[in-house]
Amino acid sequence: MNNYNPARAYGIIFGIIIGTLLSVLLLMSINKNRSLRTEYDEMQKKARGEAYMYGFFTVLVLEVLLGLAETFGPLPMEPLVSRFLVIMTGVGVQAVYSIWHDAYIGLNTQTNKFFVMMAVIAAVNLLVAVLAWVNHSMVVNGILQAPFANFMCFVLFAVLAVVGLVKKNMEEREEA
């Protein structure tokens, strides 16, 4: 059942490298001082620490559950997809907690650029997922394939957008 494809492996590695480089450039463009470091106050640092803790324990618990599930037989997804699902869930927990505790967006972040960047990332991932679905490469022989990770990224960014909008709406109502 080993379907190793060197071209696909190189494509994934290349995608990760390009994604990392784009992330660095985007981060520099959304921070007011063009820095790679986002600045946070003490309250934000404390909340972010708690958020990372919850995200870590989410990943830990899900990895144990995934390991237990795999003892009963193969899952209907590639290993890359199952691991990415765990990672995206942990990132989601960390990000939602941070948003809810006003610790997601830094002091030197240009908020409008930040949300535009998130929308673009969500849209690109949705486009890749839709193309994979149309080309019948999302599910092959009943097994979720790597492009499903793009759909998971879209879902993550959509959830973060909804949480951010709900939080903003609640704050505006409190101020009124």
pLDDT digits (tens, 9 = 90+) for 75-126: 999 998 999 999 999 999 999 999 999 998 888 888 888 888 888 889 999 9
Is 53 inside any structural domain?
yes
Helices (H), 31-147: 42-71, 79-100, 111-134
Indicate whether 4 pLDDT > 80: no
Is 23 inside any structural domain?
yes
pLDDT recorded at residue 131 = 94
CB 138 within 8 A of CB 148: yes
Is 13 inside any structural domain?
yes
CB 164 within 8 A of CB 115: yes
Which residue, among 98, 96, 86, 152, has the nearest Cα to 121 in the 3D structure?
152
Is 72 inside any structural domain?
yes
129: tokens are: 């997922």
What stretches of the chain adopt beta strand conformation (E)?
139-140, 143-144
Helix, strand, coil shares of the chain, percent, nearest 5, are 75, 5, 25
Is 118 inside any structural domain?
yes
Is 43 inside any structural domain?
yes
Mean pLDDT of the chain: 89
Is 1 inside any structural domain?
no
46: Cβ contacts below 8 Å, ≥ 6 apart: 103
Our count of domains for the chain comes to 1
Tell me the whole-structure pTM to 2 decimals. Answer: 0.83
Identify the band that residue 1 occupies on the pLDDT scale cut at 50, 70 and 90.
Answer: very low
CB 38 within 8 A of CB 109: yes
81: tokens are: 């997809």
Domain that holds residue 48: 6-175
Is 133 inside any structural domain?
yes
